[in-house]
Amino acid sequence: MYYNSILETIGNTPLVKLNDLADDLPGTILVKVEYFNPGQSVKDRIGLKMIEDAEEQGLIEPGGTIIEGTSGNTGMGLALAAVIKGYDCIFTTTDKQSKSKIDLLRALGAEVKVCPTDVEPDDPNSYYSVAQRLSEEIPNSYYPNQYDNPSNTQAHYETTGPEIWEQTEGNVTHYVAGMGTGGTVSGTSKYLKEQNDDIKTIGIDSDGSVYKKYFDTGEFDKDEIHPYLTEGIGEDIIPDNIDMDLLDEVIQVNDKDAFLTTRALASQEGLFVGGSCGAAVHGALEYARNNSFDEDDVMVIILPDSGTRYVSKIFNDEWMEEHGFLDS
């Protein structure tokens, strides 16, 4: 058996039981390890889906250019699909993203423009605004806009949700995922709740993001926004792809807890993953310990990406010490 291209290997990632980190809890804690995708992240799923849907709708022609704002992983998914399908790529990202993410995008032939993090979303220099402007200026270009593109949510409704349901033989009781663009948490939750409405969905937010307060109160509060270092989750906007009605609880996790749990996943579970994975696991375990989690419960946590993106940051003792996350 062989695959016709690397794109056919996207999805069907494994579920792995957490052992050491969850040894005080009853029930079963599973993680869905998305670094088994060819681009080493969950975003491969949406990269391919958004391009295929754009092709079907005539939004991009052969030889065109894909332009997207990304924290790195969606860019990787789009770039892989673009290589196979013959498109150019231009990505905008923020200066808080790891250099390794930027280097990986460039390795796949993409042009990367680095924009400031600490500006309003509608500022002309924000990575959102720059991507949108370039898509208007460059002919035969396509701006997927993962934040508001329904193909993002649909990709997880069609793949991630069914995989979890089948892999747990319908026994999943709790689903946990980081809240970034909203596609992973919303699309998967929609599918799972259609199978069993009693399944609890827990969204993981980053301290410094607007999501938690918006979920709790319905208020978009700019005063909640402050800089944080965890990449890929949390927002200073409310994207169309986030559906708060599909969530049962939102838990915020700070950078230190996220990064120390990320390192623990590597050293105690052999799972070499990124910072948003640590945030998801920390928040999930906190939820399980503070709620009536019992022997029959089965929790599935999405681990979005690989630790290879963060060797110079989270897995670098000097960087961790400089930011106050490790004692020297």
Q: What's the token pair of residue 174?
A: 């709790």
The domain ranges of the chain are: 6-36+153-321, 43-142
Are the CB atoms for 147 and 242 separated by under 8 Å? no
pLDDT band at 328 (very low <50, low <70, confident <90, very high): low
- The C-alpha atoms of residue 21 and residue 281 are separated, in whole angstroms, by 9
Are the CB atoms for 94 and 67 separated by under 8 Å? no
Percent of the chain with pLDDT over 70: 100
What is the identity of the amino acid at 306?
A: S
Q: How open is the CA angle 227-233-234, to the nearest 5 degrees?
A: 55
Segment 193-228, tens digit of pLDDT: 999 999 999 999 999 999 999 999 999 999 999 999
Segment 144-188, tens digit of pLDDT: 999 999 999 999 999 999 999 999 999 999 999 999 999 999 999
Q: What's the token pair of residue 106?
A: 């460039």
> Would you give the DSSP letter of residue 37?
S
Does residue 120 surpass a pLDDT of 90? no
- The C-alpha atoms of residue 260 and residue 74 are separated, in whole angstroms, by 25
How large is the angle between the packed helices 275-290 and 255-269, nearest 10 degrees? 90
H/E stretch holding 288 reads helix 275-290
Positive/negative CA dihedral, 240, 184, 191, 27:
negative
* Predicted TM-score of the model (pTM): 0.94
- pLDDT value for 151: 98
Q: Do 6-36+153-321 and 43-142 come out as alike in CATH topology?
A: yes
Indicate the average pLDDT of the chain.
96
Q: Name the one residue in this structure whose structure tokens are 């670094």.
A: 35
Q: What is the secondary structure of 76-115 as a DSSP string?
A: HHHHHHHHHHT-EEEEEEETTS-HHHHHHHHHTT-EEEEE
User: Which one from 43, 49, 193, 212 is the annotated catalytic residue?
Assistant: 43
The CATH code that applies to domain 43-142 is 3.40.50.1100
Q: What are phi and psi of 74, to 5 degrees?
A: -65, -40
As a whole number, mean pLDDT of residues 270-278 equals 98
What topology does CATH give the domain 6-36+153-321?
A: Rossmann fold (3.40.50)
Terminal C-alpha separation, the chain: 51
Are the CB atoms for 154 and 188 separated by under 8 Å? no
Q: Name the CA dihedral angle for 151, 155, 157, 161, rounded to a multiple of 10 degrees.
A: -160
For residue 59, the tally of other CB atoms under 10 A from its CB is 15
Does residue 28 surpass a pLDDT of 70? yes
Q: Is there a catalytic annotation at residue 43? A: yes
Q: What are phi and psi of 77, to 5 degrees?
A: -65, -45
- The C-alpha atoms of residue 5 and residue 237 are separated, in whole angstroms, by 36
